[in-house]
Amino acid sequence: MTLACCRSPFAGPWVTAWLMTETRAFHPLCSVLSTAERDRILHRFGLGSRAEAAFKVLEQRRPVLLIAATERRSLGDILGEPCAAVVEVGHDGLVESVGGDWVVAPDADCGLVLSLTTASAYRLSCAPLLCEALERRGAMLSGRRAAIEACLQEAIANALMHGNLGIAKVPDGSIGSYQAFSRLVLERLQEQRRRMRRLEILAHWDDSRLEIAIADEGDGFDAARVRRSLDEVDPHSHSGRGFPMMRTLADALDVRDGGRCTLLRFLACP
Amino acid sequence: MEFESLKTADTIEARLRGRLEFTDHDRLREIVALLDNVKVRRFVVDISGLEFIDSAGLGMILILQEEAEQKSIQMIVRGPRDSVRRSIDLAKIGEIVTVED
């Protein structure tokens, strides 16, 4: 273990962190956030004023873990740590690559952030891993696991494919057009600027609800043009069911930041 | 998702297991290829080993159905359970594809 200086993920002044080979405990300094930056983050995730105090709590209570690119099993283990956030630092191992577009958990005891590069998130199937982490933290609502995992999966798929990889639409044609789509996905995953874009997931909860925000760094989309219910989907269509399924299974769904952030809310069963 | 195939006189069967999700698009061609150069009447997609399916996976099931139809082969999806069954019902896939328990 070595002591090193690294840049805050909030693109502010340099802070000091202990760096280890694989997992790095890292305490961001909340004070480096400008008011404008904090407002932007709060607006993006729809957290409002109740998250204000939590920025201060975070650095006092639980660490943020900075990780190198990891295998799925390792990520599952890391998410089991009593941390407030897990942030992948990128394949070059440089903390600087975390970048400035980042968020923190609203409450260190009742929140969790996962920030991965597109390359890792695509590879790791992180929806079930997050659900397992939420269960271990007592955040999973009784009887809602299947609905929560299904919604999380759809939101992550949209964020990666349509958002960060910039693929507008899954083809609705023959297997030939589907093969072309498959090649395009693999090509986009090779593009450095796309594969390093972030998928950020923020979960916070209390006894009565679980809220999850899924954010990407793509170009966004017009949420008004998305089909609202499964009844509007042609049964023969190969795509277009993601948002309608989320609207059916979640208690509330909101799209923010020009389509770059999907907010899901689930309530405890009465 | 992983799969294995079995062939009898008039049926070819693909047994899927694990998770069928949006990252499995490159596996679809391998399943479709099972229908190449075979003379069978039925194509059974056994999904009793699937633990999860997302909307992209449901779209793949529909593509398999269309490929089978084009070859005049009857496709049957067999054995969905738990969350996979719920997703199939939610998306009304049973209106398009023959689904057997």
Mean pLDDT to the nearest integer, B78-86: 96
With CA atoms as reference, report the closest residue to A211 among A153, A133, A264.
Answer: A264
For A202-222, b where at least 16 C-beta lie within 10 A, e where not — what string? Answer: bbbbeeeebbbbbbbbbebbe
Instruction: Name the one residue in this structure whose structure tokens are 């590069």.
Output: A117
**Three-state DSSP state, A177:** helix
Give the HSE-up count for residue A187: Cα atoms under 13 Å, Cβ half-sphere: 8
Residue of A nearest to B23 (CA): A122
| B contacts of A157 (beta carbons < 8 Å) | 21-22, 54-56
pLDDT at residue A95 greater than cutoff 50:
no
Domains and CATH numbers, chain B: 2-100 (3.30.750.24)
| Helix (H) and strand (E) counts in chain B | 3, 5
Select from B32, B59, B67 the Cβ nearest to the Cβ of A239. Answer: B59
φ, ψ for residue A85, nearest 5 deg: -155, 150
Select from B55, B66, B83 the Cβ nearest to the Cβ of A241. Answer: B55
Select from A174, A178, A241 the Cβ nearest to the Cβ of B58. Answer: A241
Over residues A206-250, the pLDDT tens digits come to 888 999 989 898 998 888 878 778 888 888 888 889 999 999 999
Higher-confidence residue of A38 and A1: namely A38
Q: Is B70 buried (19+), middle (13-18) or exposed (0-12) by CB count in 10 A?
A: exposed
* Whether B23 contacts chain A with CB within 8 A: yes
Neighbours of A105 (CB within 10 A): 25
Phi/psi region, residue A6 (left: phi>0; alpha: psi -120 to 50; beta: rest), is beta
Mean pLDDT to the nearest integer, A94-108: 38
pTM of the model: 0.82
Q: Kindly give the residue spans of alpha helices, DSSP state H, lying in chain A.
A: 35-45, 52-61, 72-79, 118-124, 126-136, 145-157, 175-190, 192-195, 242-249
**Three-state DSSP state, A78:** helix
Over residues A120-164, the pLDDT tens digits come to 999 998 999 999 999 998 999 989 999 999 999 999 999 999 999
A170 to B52: CB separation less than 8 angstroms, yes or no: no
Q: How far is CA B99 from CA A134, A244, B89, in A?
A: 33, 22, 10
pLDDT for the residue numbered A226: 81
Q: Give the DSSP letter of residue A42.
A: H
pLDDT for the residue numbered A66: 62
Separation CA A178–CA A175 (nearest Å) = 5
ipTM of the complex: 0.95
| Matching CATH number, A2-267, of 3.30.360.10, 3.30.930.10, 3.90.650.10, 3.30.565.10 | 3.30.565.10
pLDDT for the residue numbered A76: 85
CB A88 within 8 A of CB A70: yes
Over residues A12-21, the pLDDT tens digits come to 222 222 222 3
Q: How far is B9 from chain A (nearest CA, A)?
A: 26
Over residues A39-81, the pLDDT tens digits come to 655 555 555 554 454 444 444 455 566 676 667 778 888 888 7
